[in-house]
Amino acid sequence: MKTLSRENLNLWLDGLAAQHALIAPHLEAPGVFYRPVQRAQEIAWEAGRPVLSAKEFLFPPSERLLKVEKRGPDVRLEASPSAAPQVIFGLRPCDARGIRVLDTAFVDTPPIDSRYASRRENTLLVGLACRSMGASCFCTAVGLAPDDPRDMDVMFSDRGATLAVQALTPRGEALIANLPLVEELGEVEPASRREVGGLPTAEAWKESYSDARWAKHGERCLSCRLCAYVCPTCRCYDVRDEALPSPPGEAHFERLRAWDSCMREGYRLTAGGHNPRAASGSRLRNRLLCKFVYYPHQYGPAACTGCGRCLDACPVNLDLLEIGGALQEAAQ
Amino acid sequence: MSISEAMQSAARDVLASGQVQRVIGYETGPHGRVRPAIIDRPEEAERLVWSADCTHNLTVYLHRALTGENGRASREAVAPPARVAIVVKPCDSRAINVLLAEHQFSREQVFAIGMACEGMRQGAPASAPEATLQARCLRCRERVPVVHDVLLGEPPSALPEALPDEALAHVRDLPPAERAAFWLSQFDRCIRCYACRQACPMCNCPTCLFEQEDALWVGMRIAPSEKRTFHLGRALHLAGRCVGCNECERVCPMGIPIGLLNRHLAETVESLYGHRAGMQPVLSPVTGMLSAEESAP
Amino acid sequence: MSTADGADPMYPLLGRLVSSRDMGREIKLLGVKLLNGTQPRFPAYAPGQFAFLSAFGIGEAPFGLASTTERGEVLEFAVQRLGSVTTGLHELAEGDALGVRGPLGNTFPMEAFQHKNLLVLGGGIGGAPLRPVIHSVLDHRQDYGQLTILWAARHPSLLIFRDEYESWRAAPHTELHLTVDEADAAWDHHVGLMTDLVRQVAPSAANTVAITCGPPIMIYHVDKLLSELGFAPEQRYVTLEARMHCGLGKCGRCNMGELLVCRDGPVFSMAQVGNFLESYL
């Protein structure tokens, strides 16, 4: 295997941060978050999975789609600039998978979302394997593993004084081409994994639509949307025009998109007052079926990477493994 | 009989006798995490538990439980229960008074199973057994809910000395410019998930001012200006109404000390008006009521 | 977003409002032409498709295209004032610029409908996306069988395209039946719900395709009734609306089960939809 000394890794990361945006796990008061860092020193190495996913670097919480300038009856439109290069380092396999899942909707399925595509083309994914699974992790239940390198450009595995490196894509190979890698005998020790079962098949999820327990589960739900905001793959958004400071005689606006979630009570409320998902149980059911039935139907993969953030974040312990397990039992 | 058993017995009785059609309490999930439980049948009462992990403020469920909005997954209307029983700690019970004063429901619609509370542990609802009590509980002066139809547990005869609120003292004593800088930097971490609002029993506007589609007050951007307006605005809306259950701070994924801001405003209202939220079912003096005549143009 | 030639499909084309006329209570028929020199040109579109109209400064919303490419260059939209975007569109003056994004969505399978009888059921503003179907049939009258139009609204002031009823009735093998929930003094047609009118007209399902559009609750009940009257799922078409923000299958909002109204619809046969319709109500 190829390895890199810790010292050389830090030098390299410092160099990357100087050239373009380097995003890495960073310790803040409430926990570790993926954040832009200026130096390798700022990276939190011993962290488990960061509190939020890395999706905000491809799909920001809010961003401009276009600018609108009105002068009397006339209008002028201006497109948004393309994205700057960035490297996401220390990415966990579940979060890399999250980005791949979003790719299938935004880039692989036409028409291409040019905002997302612009960022994606300019982003390199450099992963750090997990050595073990956290208490709420269930990546193995969705066919992933804590050290799965598949969705990365480059993957590092921390062995203490050195890190093992592998390039998975041509861009990844180019990225590490000039690193002083050392060829070492042996293999990277696989991460310790825990098999987690209990997720129903897509068919079983789909058939659960009329199960009376959805209403019961929904009773406890606060529609707080934390599950969607911490999730690596939730991607629903709202679009609206909002005012900008304008020169006299003109009215300037930007057309924004911002994160929204199907768990919000008013998500499907139409101007006429009709709301097909006014009941919280129907929203909960929609979100989980979207992850395991609707998203795969439209774009290919299931929209869940088993990161377990929703299990930690939910204030009232709504647990998709528990819900799925119960549905599976009922189906048998 | 343990307190859990007393609670189960009380819930079973009120359901079986038809006094209430629903009980909102706590249960333990499969992984040992305490969570809200909403039950309709006497047989389900055995699920209920009471422990130092019962940190949720269940009054957040009252309004929707009483209007039949809950327990649905389709547009089929469900007849709302006439009366609901709810397990409340002293802090939660004050929320009932605030909501009563604001006409969210009537006293007859609620059967309060009051718990004599010895405090909730840090890390609740999934705390380690050896964890210390939450700071808010160490500061708390109440052991008996101010609203209860039945009281379970033994209130202590004497209260231990209250822990001083050092965080509040620190913030209160900061010079205004520094205090502003502190709070603004806290709000900047916000991701506008609104979990704080959804967990709060007092945040019950049908459409939140800060999420209106016409963006009259606050736009959709997830950016510092909007986040600051939301947090400052929400804190003002809660002044004199917040009961310090700290759910807002517990659910925040970004560790924003929302509870601290609310405590500061609560202290301010108490020192200016002598009003402490929810001790009686009376409106906060800081809340204005517009009648139809007053709001006519 | 990019199309094959790199254009961003969230980027609207600039058009001008060439006509805005009242068509009913809080309902206007807007006519839009693309600005000279706007590229690309608005592509040819077919009955069933929709486009997003931008009231710049407020936002965009999807509206069924109520015109046909055949009948002219002007894009027509029936807009009922209900919320902020529709208010913004109503307040535009003729000559003002606005945005158009489209055509989006799928189309009615007009070729598959040929030589069949058509039963067209339009409720309220829902009649707007059905007008191109009616126009296509009238403009190619020989290609289709009997055309039976059932047109409903809550009140006579909410009936749309009233100035066309005579031309519809005058066409060969074409019938028009009207109903309102609540009549006014001048009303002398049927009073009652669309389902009442359907029972009265008692259409035969033989070699007939039904196309329904209207408020969700009307679609639901009409569809049930048509099923009882012997219309098989493949004979029952609906065109649906849902709150949308991209119209391109990205924002996730308009799903009805695993189907996206913007991408898999808005035209659906009930054979496709099955019991997803319940989740739409």
Q: From CA C165, how far away is CA A26, in angstroms rounded?
A: 68
Q: Are A182 and A28 in contact (CB under 8 A)?
A: no
Is the pLDDT assigned to residue A105 strictly greater than 50?
yes
Is the pLDDT assigned to residue C267 strictly greater than 80?
yes
Residue at which a domain ends, from C58, C85, C104: C104
Model confidence band, residue B212 (pLDDT cutoffs 50, 70, 90): confident
Whether residues A269 and C243 touch (CB distance < 8 A) is answered with yes
Model confidence band, residue C6 (pLDDT cutoffs 50, 70, 90): low
Residues C51 and C180 in one domain: no
Closest chain B residue to the Cα of C88, Cα to Cα: B214
Residues C227 and C253 in one domain: yes
The CATH number of the domain where C18 resides is what?
A: 2.40.30.10
Q: Are B47 and A209 in contact (CB under 8 A)?
A: no
Percent of chain B with pLDDT over 90: 77
In a domain, C204, yes or no: yes
**Shortest alpha-carbon distance between residue A146 and chain B (Å):** 22
* pLDDT tens-digit series, residues B155-172: 888 888 888 999 999 999
Secondary structure class of A259 (helix, strand, coil): strand
Q: From CA A66, how far away is CA C8, in angstroms rounded?
A: 10
Among A136, A219, A223, the strongest candidate for a mutation testing the B interface, having the largest count of B CBs within 10 A, is: A219
* pLDDT tens-digit series, residues B10-65: 999 999 999 999 999 999 998 899 999 999 999 999 999 999 999 999 999 998 88
Higher pLDDT residue, B77 or B232? B232
* pLDDT tens-digit series, residues A21-52: 999 999 998 899 999 999 999 999 887 899 99
pLDDT score, position A328 = 80
Among C84, C245, C253, the strongest candidate for a mutation testing the B interface, having the largest count of B CBs within 10 A, is: C84
pLDDT score, position A329 = 77
What residues of chain B have any CB closer than 8 angstroms to a CB in chain A? 29-31, 33-38, 56, 60-61, 69-75, 125, 189, 191-195, 198-199, 207, 211, 213, 215, 219-223, 247, 250-255
Residues C191 and C118 in one domain: yes
In a domain, C124, yes or no: yes
Q: Are A126 and A89 in contact (CB under 8 A)?
A: yes
In a domain, C8, yes or no: no
pLDDT score, position C280 = 75
* pLDDT tens-digit series, residues C169-194: 999 999 999 999 999 999 999 999 99
In a domain, C197, yes or no: yes
Residue at which a domain ends, from C74, C104, C134: C104
Residues 195-254 of B with CB under 8 A from C: 213-214
In a domain, C3, yes or no: no
Cβ neighbors of A183 (< 8 A, separation 6 or more) are A1, A2, A3
* Number of structural domains in chain C: 2
pLDDT score, position A61 = 95
Q: Which residues of B touch C281 (CB under 8 A)?
A: 75
**Hey, what's the torsion of the CAs at B87, B93, B95, B100, to 10 degrees?**
100
pLDDT score, position C2 = 41
Is the pLDDT assigned to residue C115 strictly greater than 70?
yes
Whether residues A253 and C56 touch (CB distance < 8 A) is answered with yes
Residues C35 and C19 in one domain: yes
* pLDDT tens-digit series, residues C20-79: 999 999 999 999 999 877 666 788 999 999 999 999 999 999 999 999 999 999 999 999
Q: Are A308 and A137 in contact (CB under 8 A)?
A: yes
For residues C108-128, average pLDDT: 97
Using CA atoms, how far residue B86 sits from B14, B170, B243, in Å, is 11, 36, 17
Is the pLDDT assigned to residue B78 strictly greater than 80?
no
Model confidence band, residue C206 (pLDDT cutoffs 50, 70, 90): very high
Q: From CA A192, how far away is CA B182, in angstroms rounded?
A: 42
Is the pLDDT assigned to residue A104 strictly greater than 80?
yes
Residues C245 and C136 in one domain: yes
CB-nearest to C84 from B74, B75, B213 is: B213
pLDDT score, position C38 = 66
Lowest-confidence region among A86-90, A275-279, B64-68: B64-68
Is the pLDDT assigned to residue A314 strictly greater than 50?
yes
Question: Cβ atoms within 10 A of the Cβ of A179, count?
Answer: 15
Residues C185 and C211 in one domain: yes
Residues C129 and C263 in one domain: yes
- For all residues of chain B together, what is the average pLDDT? 92
pLDDT score, position C3 = 44
For residues A103-113, average pLDDT: 96
Q: Could you tell me the pTM of the whole model?
A: 0.94
Half-sphere exposure of B33 (CA within 13 A, CB side): 19
Is the pLDDT assigned to residue A308 strictly greater than 60?
yes
Q: Which residues of A touch B54 (CB under 8 A)?
A: none
Amino acid (one-letter) located at B78: V
In a domain, C200, yes or no: yes
Q: From CA A293, how far away is CA A281, in angstroms rounded?
A: 17
- For all residues of chain A together, what is the average pLDDT? 94
For residues B278-285, average pLDDT: 94
The CATH number of the domain where C170 resides is what?
A: 3.40.50.80
For residues B123-151, average pLDDT: 94
For residues A126-150, average pLDDT: 95
Q: Which residues of C touch A267 (CB under 8 A)?
A: 253
Closest chain B residue to the Cα of A312, Cα to Cα: B253
Is the pLDDT assigned to residue B258 strictly greater than 50?
yes
pLDDT score, position A82 = 84
Residues C132 and C99 in one domain: no
**Shortest alpha-carbon distance between residue B159 and chain A (Å):** 30
* pLDDT tens-digit series, residues A67-84: 999 998 899 999 988 889
* pLDDT tens-digit series, residues C129-152: 999 999 999 999 999 999 999 999
Q: From CA A227, how far away is CA A233, in angstroms rounded?
A: 11
Q: Which residues of C touch B213 (CB under 8 A)?
A: 83-84
In a domain, C209, yes or no: yes
Cβ neighbors of C94 (< 8 A, separation 6 or more) are C17, C18, C19, C20
Using CA atoms, how far residue B264 sits from A1, B47, B168, B171, B185, in Å, is 58, 38, 6, 8, 17
Q: What is the interface pTM, i.e. ipTM, of the complex?
A: 0.93
Residue at which a domain ends, from C104, C135, C151: C104
For residues A245-269, average pLDDT: 94
Is the pLDDT assigned to residue C259 strictly greater than 50?
yes
Is the pLDDT assigned to residue C4 strictly greater than 50?
no
Contacts A–C by Cβ distance under 8 A: 132
Strands across the sheet with A154-158, in order?
A31-37, A21-28, A86-91, A123-128, A154-158, A162-167, A2-5, A182-183
Is the pLDDT assigned to residue B296 strictly greater than 60?
no
Residues C158 and C54 in one domain: no
* pLDDT tens-digit series, residues C191-205: 999 999 999 999 999
pLDDT score, position B162 = 84
**Shortest alpha-carbon distance between residue B68 and chain C (Å):** 19
Q: C17 lies in which domain range?
A: 13-104
Distance from first CA to last CA of chain C, Å, rounded? 31
Secondary structure class of B146 (helix, strand, coil): coil
Residues C78 and C131 in one domain: no
In a domain, C4, yes or no: no
Question: Cβ atoms within 10 A of the Cβ of C191, count?
Answer: 14
What residues of chain A have any CB closer than 8 angstroms to a CB in chain B? 28-31, 51-52, 61-62, 212, 214-216, 218-220, 222-226, 229-230, 238, 240, 242, 256, 258-259, 266, 276, 278-282, 284-285, 313, 315-317, 319, 322
Residues C123 and C27 in one domain: no
DSSP string, A116-158: HHHHHHTEEEEEE--SB--TT--GGGGT--TT--TT-SEEEEE
Residue found by looking up tokens 């009215």 in the block:
A251
Residues C145 and C259 in one domain: yes
Tokens of residue B74, six digits: 């389709």
For residues B109-122, average pLDDT: 96
